Amino acid sequence: MDFLDAYQQWADAHAFFDTTLIPSPAEDTEPLAEQAAAWETRLADETPNGRLLRSNALFNALSGAGKLHLLHVTHALEQISEHGILYPSGGCLVGSIYCAPLTASDSGFRMHNLAAYVLNKEAPAFVSKIGEPDRVPAPLIFEVSLPPQAYRGLVGVDYLRLGSIHLQIYTHLEYLLSKAERHQLRETIVSRTKNSTAFLALAAAIAYQGARVRPESFLQLLDETIPRLPILGYVYFEALAEYLMLHSTTPQTRERAELGEFNNWLYKEMLFASFPHMAGKFDLAKFRPSPSKLDTLLAKVDSSVDPVHARAYLTERISYLVAARLFTPGQVPEAWHHTRWEFDGLSTQLGPLLGHLIHRELRTFGRYPDFYFYFDQHKALQAWNYWNHMDIIAPFNGTIPKGEIGINPAYPDLDYRIWRAEQDDAGHLHPTEQLELTIAPRLVDIKYTLMRNNKWADPAAAAV
């Protein structure tokens, strides 16, 4: 694959935000172009907090001049300081130092509500879980200078759009597996997809044809399919998180909206209320709230949302995301009962889905976990190359601008300073000690991240 091909794939994996949210002309030929435009209007104009999709504190910081102030939380500061190097992690920000925004004030640095949750609730819960009470989460303040050439547009990487890239990388690295292993992997992926046809066909019918279905039936079928297609757990999580953040009208949500912030505590509480074991082990492939208990879960997390409306919304939204993110762009899978269940043929219509499944399967497949680090490192190299071409210093999670933001570790002449910080009684952070740390453009091995629940992991590496 040459640079132009990779550039196009990575451009398609990013969400380009602007003040109008008008689809680009190239999308007019896509079968889902009309639905995409309708969803953009619906989310931005027809929800209580939709204005935050166009104007928010994260966007203000990224489009401004001067310096960015970001919070990174780690449990491994002693080990990091010993070597003097801070490595980025994979996850939803591909290959970044995972951070959340800070706002400078006369009283210190005010944390974005995402940052406050990670520092004060999620990180302590992880410490408690691993039984290491002496390991106090350390807040680090990053000051990143934005040079004049830095891109001022609003472009976020959407990890749900990485399926085609995962498939492309595997085709380059598949010979790390034996012939028998390659055959077994292909057969496993095809089998998972073939046995999930009922859900895929239903989602396609809803997205492309406007088919009507009882939300209860849809969510039950989704629940049954997630174990076979674990990427659906990620899609479900993002759709439910999006719904909560856009539709909540609680006083806390309104207060945070006045600051230009989506209320991240909603989906965090929803996640850990339904799956408390995920504290410190962020595995969205296993996210599948029981359909029969969804109403109770929503009421526990946010009593201001209507469960009936939420179920109908999730049915439509998840169907659209499946078609838009998991089917090959421009393809409309039809006549499912005539499908030839062979890997090469399926990749024509369902390439992104196969890529996501392969990316997940390889973590535990045969000998490949020994090589998995290089798979994600290869992906990070491509992302860094694209970001540097675009002069993107601080990529953010573009599924929805929650507040998840990273530092591009490969940016040439990256200008930054790092301090250890302390939190005062009012919740503000104050720098206490400047640290001589170097950000290195090399991923931390997945076995040292929370995704593998290693007791010496860096909690901030667990982003999705």
Give the DSSP letter string of 426-438. TS-EEEEEEE--E
Within a domain: 451 = yes
**Beta strand ranges found along 153-248 (DSSP E):** 154-157
Q: Which residues contact 61 (CB under 8 A, 6 or more apart)?
A: 68, 101, 103
Q: Can you tell me which residue has the tokens 């990427």?
A: 231
- Looking at the structure, do residues 358 and 419 belong to the same domain, yes or no? no
Same domain (yes/no): 281, 403? no
Q: Which residues fall within 8 angstroms of residue 454, CB to CB, at 6 or more apart?
A: 447, 448
DSSP state of 273: H
- Within 10 angstroms of residue 380's Cβ, the number of other Cβ atoms is 22
Element holding 377 (H helix, E strand): helix 372-390
Sign for the CA dihedral angle at 213, 218, 221, 227 comes to positive
Same domain for 269 and 186 = yes
Clarify whether residues 138 and 234 are in a common domain.
Answer: no
Asked whether residue 166 is assigned to any structural domain, the reply reads: no
Tell me how many domains the chain contains.
2
Measured distance CA(263)–CA(279) in Å, rounded: 19
The predicted structure's pLDDT at residue 453:
40
Q: For residue 2, which phi and psi values (nearest 5 degrees)?
A: -85, 175
∠ Cα 314 205 325 (to 5°): 60
Pairing of the two strands 438-439 and 85-86: parallel
Distance of CA 66 to the CA centre of its chain: 27
In terms of domains, do 182 and 266 share one? Answer: yes
Q: Which tokens belong to 142?
A: 């990053």
Contact status, residue 336 vs residue 201, Cβ threshold 8 Å: yes
Query: Are 314 and 244 within one domain?
Result: yes
Phi, psi for residue 85 in degrees, rounded to 5: -130, 135
Output the pTM of the full model. Answer: 0.93
Flag whether 121 is in a domain. yes
Other C-beta atoms lying within 10 Å of the C-beta of residue 215: 19
Of 366, 400, 415, the position where a domain reaches its end is: 366
Half-sphere exposure of 199 (CA within 13 A, CB side): 25
Torsion of CA 274, 70, 160, 286, to 10 degrees: -20
289: region left, alpha or beta (phi > 0 left; psi from -120 to 50 alpha): beta
**If residue 345 lies in a helix (H) or strand (E), which one and from where to where?**
helix 343-361
What gap in Å lies between CA 314 and CA 207, rounded to an integer? 12
The answer on 300 and 223 residing in a single domain is: yes
Which of 342, 366, 390 marks a domain boundary?
366
Is residue 34 situated within a structural domain?
A: no
Confirm whether 11 is domain-assigned: no
CA 420 to mean position of chain CA atoms:
27
CA 108: distance to chain centroid?
29
Domain end, chosen from 331, 366, 401, is at 366
CB 102 within 8 A of CB 421: no
Residue 348 belongs to some domain of the structure: yes
Are 386 and 318 found together in one domain?
no
Same domain, 380 and 352: no
Instruction: Mark whether 81 and 118 lie in a shared domain.
Output: yes
pLDDT tens per residue across all 464 residues of the chain: 454 578 999 999 999 987 444 444 444 567 899 999 999 999 999 999 999 999 999 999 898 778 999 999 998 898 899 999 999 988 899 999 999 999 999 999 999 999 999 999 988 888 777 767 667 899 999 999 999 999 988 999 999 999 999 999 999 999 988 999 999 999 999 999 999 999 999 999 999 999 999 999 999 999 999 999 999 999 999 999 999 999 999 999 999 999 999 999 999 999 887 777 766 567 888 899 999 999 999 999 999 999 999 999 999 999 999 999 999 998 888 888 889 999 999 999 999 999 999 999 988 887 777 788 889 999 999 999 999 999 999 999 999 999 999 999 999 989 999 999 999 999 999 999 999 999 999 998 655 443 334 433 454 444 33
Neighbours of 387 (CB within 10 A): 26
Give dist(CA 205, CA 184) in Å, integer: 31
Query: Does 384 lie in the same domain as 351?
Result: no
Taking alpha carbons only, the member of 77, 136, 91 closest to residue 462 is 91
Does 297 map to a domain?
Answer: yes
Instruction: Give the contacts of 348 (CB within 8 A, at least 6 positions apart).
Output: 328, 331
For tokens 């929370």, the residue is 450
Domain limits for position 423: 57-157+372-462
Q: Which of 352, 313, 349, 320 is nearest to 33 (CA)?
A: 320
Is 153 in the same domain as 186? Answer: no
Per-residue pLDDT at 2: 52
Q: Is residue 5 part of a domain?
A: no
